[in-house]
Amino acid sequence: MAEILTTNFKTDTTRLFVDDVLSNDYYLFVSSINGTESANHIRSTNDFLEKTLFGKQIFNSDVFFMIKYYPWQKDDVYVQYDDAEDLEEQKFYAVVGPNNNDTGDYRVYKCLFNNNDAQVTSPPNYDGQTAGQIYRTADGYVWKYMYAISELEFEAYNALGYIPITGTFETDPTANTGGSEIAEIFVENPDVNLGYKSVFGSMNGSPNGSSLIVIPGQVPAWSELDNYYAGQSVYLTNPSGVSFLYVITFYAYNENTGLAEIRVDGNPATDGVASNASLKILPTIEILGDGSGAQGIPNIDNNDRITSVTMLNNGVGYNNVTVRVIDPLYDFKPDDPNDTDTRADVRAILSPKDGHAFDLIDEFKCKHFLLYAYITAEDNNQIGATNTYATVGIVKNPEFANTAPGVFDNRIAITTDDIGKVEENTIVNQIDDNNEIIFSGIVHEVDLSSNTMFIAEYNGPYQNVGNTDISLDTTVPFRNETGQTIEINTPVDNNIIKSEYIQRTGKVYFMEDFFPLARTDLSREEFKIVLEF
């Protein structure tokens, strides 16, 4: 018995979390001067919050669904889309960068056919006039254009081998049909099927209703047998490039004129078939299902094998479909043990519901998302631009004494004329009348120009002072590590600046520790956190 947790569960879980980010306050917290090892337990998350140095809000515009970055590379083999295959973690799409297209951006294409596992040699090149945005390249691949990423977006948001789902979308997401297109008709035995023929010719004047008078091509020779091609398809192409497909209902060859008459199941006269259209007769691809509109023609090689099927129309609204190549009436004997003719085994591959590019999150099996935050020069005027930090994390809905800020400094700024007794990265304490420590913190920064020391990592096993969330007692001086007294300048309330952040609040969703990184007033950090469900 198989138990399957489908990709839909993962993508929907990702959607739910992204929706939660967009409807709540999420912050990047930067914590710990020298770092501690992060772990998935209460003590570790408390330690992370208690050592918070500063934080920056993650804006809605900087939250992205992410997919793996598979750049188009010559000689690579890409996995073709298949509704009967698990494509999770498969390279079934490619990103064509500025070096390989004329648009100057990054364009994402989904592989619909890989020419029987061939190596790529020709990248798809975007053209806004291409029908359906489906590209058939010289190497035999078929690609569907999905969306574009500008160079600026790519440079800003690509991370850890992932790129965002963003940019310009070509398809209409309102075209909800309740079913699928036929993405491809796949030939399962391209090297084994045998005995299929095609012949070429041209029109000899305008069609008369359903009747066509045609000039048979010389090579290969056309049959002179009546109704030899009945049941097969005739594919006509006007000089303008417009094509038409019909099933043949009658065929007769006139040996006196060298012309042939074909009757079809439509009306070429009213459809606009030109008097000098070219044509070819091919085995019919029969498509039966609960949708409509799908048409395809077989591609036959010089060995009389059907190697692939070209979709002329992908149709709409399919949920169930069967396809087959209708046996030609004559000279095709796959059931004769003395004959080498072999039927082509074909099957339809349905697109995702409502067509390719309708739902990019589901189509790309998206289970990753990016939370992007950055520290600017302006931010450095509000937070500590010195010393080091060694842990970052994501915190949901931290609380603040006033309106939630875009960026906050969690250090306590103390102005003192005893600034000469203060050294960076040393501990300062407050000691009560019983000679017990009631407050302790680490000097994160010393600003001699303003006689200010900035204290960090000041939460600990000390009882908070009434009506505050920290144990700092403004009536008690500090002592440095050698026991020297550091007085707070008076009036005290004017010489202490506390953080607006209410200590230890917020739910920690992610933490990462690393070797301490130094900050300066020139620091400009980008934090790209890619998470996965």
Nearest to 370 by CA among 14, 88, 55, 13: 14
Residue 144 near residue 126 (C-beta atoms within 8 A): no
3-state secondary structure 187-254: ECCCCCCECCCCEEEEECCCCECCEEEEEECCCCCCCCCCCCCCCCEEEEECCCCCEEEEEEEEEEEE
Q: What is the pLDDT of residue 373?
A: 93
Cis before residue 461, ω within 30 degrees of 0?
A: no
pLDDT of 393 above 80 = yes
Rounded to whole angstroms, the Cα distance separating 113 from 270 reads 34
- Alpha helix stretches (DSSP H) within 135-199: 151-157
Q: What is the pLDDT of residues 82-112, one digit of tens each?
A: 999 999 999 999 999 998 777 789 999 999 9
Residue 462 CA, distance from chain mean position? 48
User: What's the mean per-residue pLDDT of the chain?
Assistant: 93
Q: What is the pLDDT of residues 273-328, one digit of tens each?
A: 999 999 999 999 999 999 999 999 999 999 999 999 999 999 999 999 999 999 99
CA angle 178, 180, 184 (to 5 degrees): 175
Q: What is the pLDDT of residue 1?
A: 67
Strand partners, 407: 56
Which class for 270: exposed (0-12), middle (13-18), buried (19 or more C-beta within 10 A)?
exposed
Strand partners, 530: 370
Q: What is the pLDDT of residue 219?
A: 87
Q: What is the pLDDT of residue 521?
A: 87
- Percentage above 90 pLDDT, the chain: 86
Q: What is the pLDDT of residues 364-384, one digit of tens each?
A: 999 999 999 999 999 999 998
Q: What is the pLDDT of residues 314-340, one digit of tens each?
A: 999 999 999 999 999 999 999 999 999
The SS3 assignment for 511 reads: strand
* Residue predicted with more confidence, 219 or 44: 44
Residue 120 near residue 75 (C-beta atoms within 8 A): yes
Dihedral sign of CA atoms 407, 411, 416, 419 in order: negative
Mean pLDDT confidence for 125-136: 90
Residue spans in the chain of domains classed CATH 2.60.340.10 = 1-64+362-407+503-533
Q: What is the pLDDT of residue 508?
A: 97
DSSP 285-340: EEEEESSB--EEEEEE-TTS-EEEEEEEE--B-BSSEEEEEPPPSSS--TT-TT--
Cβ-Cβ contacts under 8 Å for 78 (sequence gap 6 or more): 70, 91, 92, 93, 94, 111, 114, 120, 141
Nearest to 112 by CA among 173, 183, 60, 56: 183
Task: Report which secondary-structure segment, H or E, holds 112.
Answer: strand 106-113
Q: What is the pLDDT of residues 160-189, one digit of tens each?
A: 899 999 854 444 445 555 789 999 999 999
Task: Report which secondary-structure segment, H or E, holds 23.
Answer: helix 7-23
Q: What is the pLDDT of residues 13-29, one digit of tens each?
A: 999 999 999 999 999 99
Strand partners, 322: 288
Rounded to whole angstroms, the Cα distance separating 60 from 469 reads 30
Residue 481 CA, distance from chain mean position? 54
Mean pLDDT confidence for 224-231: 97
Q: What is the pLDDT of residue 168?
A: 42
Rounded to whole angstroms, the Cα distance separating 322 from 345 reads 12
The SS3 assignment for 492 reads: helix
CATH 2.60.340.10 fits 1-64+362-407+503-533, yes or no: yes
**Within 13 Å, how many C-alpha atoms sit on residue 274's CB side?**
13
Rounded to whole angstroms, the Cα distance separating 214 from 252 reads 10
- Burial letters 302-325, b for 16+ CB under 10 A, else e: eeebbbbbbbbbbbbbbeebebbb
Q: What is the pLDDT of residue 169?
A: 41
pLDDT of 485 above 70 = yes
How long a stretch of residues is the chain?
533
- Percentage above 70 pLDDT, the chain: 98
Rounded to whole angstroms, the Cα distance separating 432 from 434 reads 5
